[in-house]
Amino acid sequence: ANFSEQVVESFPSDISTGIYYGWACVGNGDVHKMVLSIGWNPFYKNIKKSVETHIIHTFKEDFYGEILSIVITGYIRPEKNFDSLEALISAIQEDIEEAKKQLDLPEHRKLKDDNFFRLPEGKIVNNH
């Protein structure tokens, strides 16, 4: 799930690029573990900074247009380039495993149930 350019521009300018982990919720759905990439994705030679969320869950359908709420709880590693797509995929799998391990710790697990993830009923957010 990629955030819009407008959302990316609203992130703090001093946040380090790299791979983070935390919790994500689509709409008023369940809260899931996630890995987040902030940066330019050097392997793909992006010219614009992006914020891409990988929710560690298999959804039955697309959720385009839904509200995506995230809480970043930790940092895994800096952004880097890779020699091959296979090396990138391997690093992503390692990041996912590290995120799962970290998010099982009590200090991170408690944030899964935070009221931040509950959108007020009937409230319109971003025209939705």
Annotated catalytic residues are 52
Q: Which residue has the tokens 């880097």?
A: 80
Could you give the CA distance from residue 59 to residue 55 in angstroms, rounded to a whole number? 9
Could you give the CA distance from residue 44 to residue 112 in angstroms, rounded to a whole number? 32
Beta bridge partners of 2: 52
Q: Count Cβ neighbours within 10 Å for each residue of 61-88 and write b for 16 or more, e otherwise.
A: eeeeeeebbbbbbeebeeeeeeeeeeeb
The DSSP call for residue 51 is E
